[in-house]
Amino acid sequence: MGAHMREILEAVAAGEVTAAEAEATLSGYATTGAGRFDAARERRSGVPEAILGSGKTAGEIADLAATAIGTTGRAIVTRVDGAGAAAVRRRLAESAPDATVRWDERARWLVATAPEFERPAIDAGVGVVTAGTSDAVPAGEAAMIAREMGADVTRIDDAGVASLARTIDAVSRLREQDVLVVAAGREGALPTVVAGLVDVPVIGLPVSTGYGHGGEGDAALSGMLQSCTALSVVNIDAGFTAGTQAGLIARQVATARDGR
């Protein structure tokens, strides 16, 4: 038995460390009745573990959130409704009463942090851009996770090409960012236009707004994939994926900046 393992087991026996914390340290994950929580994901990949609320009961979400707080000091939940958010608040009131809980009702994300948790800080800017108000849900998810990864996030909203003047008015702010997530529904034109105006990476985020043929985001996705300007594209409504990619790029930008 290694000295490190013995120290952990002795800490458990002394009540200084919970069984979940010990398991997370030794195995990289903690087991709950709702599944395993990957407590080592951020250390391994640079992306914080997040709990997907869709498909889980309120109790399962609360169990995983409590485990997240207990093992990493932070719980991130996506696609969580009011019942799930309320369940998390009730559970943390018992297991982590000093935790701070923030829930965005529209974008449906929840972030809870223990008092001792320190969010990382990255010296790089991520711009999260929307074509219109209807794109705010996945864009809000992208902004949240990029911010939780430590980036300085700027929201640039309602810059769609239905009135190109709105896009042009935002160009100076767009060019100040180190990476951009651009969310758009309908035909998905905004990322193409933006990518032709800036010299930073652009991540297209197609949104399931619109109606009729291709109106569930298919037209936006196809348009972005066929873009004549250089951009990368995530799946429909995949705000978390877009935000994490932006956060990873921002981290590399910050590392290069520090090395100068």
Residues 6+ apart with CB under 8 A from 239: 107, 137, 138, 139, 140, 141, 142, 145, 183, 205
**From CA 36, how far away is CA 71, in angstroms rounded?**
12
Average pLDDT, the chain: 89
Name the pLDDT band for 163 (thresholds 50, 70, 90): confident
90, 154: one domain? no
222 has pLDDT over 50? yes
148, 231: one domain? yes
12 has pLDDT over 70? no
| pLDDT tens-digit readout, 193-213 | 999 999 999 999 999 988 888
Range of the domain at 40: 14-113
60, 160: one domain? no
31, 71: one domain? yes
**From CA 225, how far away is CA 17, in angstroms rounded?**
49
Considering the entire predicted model, what is its pTM? 0.87
68 has pLDDT over 60? yes
Name the pLDDT band for 214 (thresholds 50, 70, 90): confident
46, 146: one domain? no
Domain end point (choices 82, 113, 144): 113
**From CA 192, how far away is CA 174, in angstroms rounded?**
13
236, 172: one domain? yes
**CATH number of residue 202's parent domain:** 3.40.50.1970
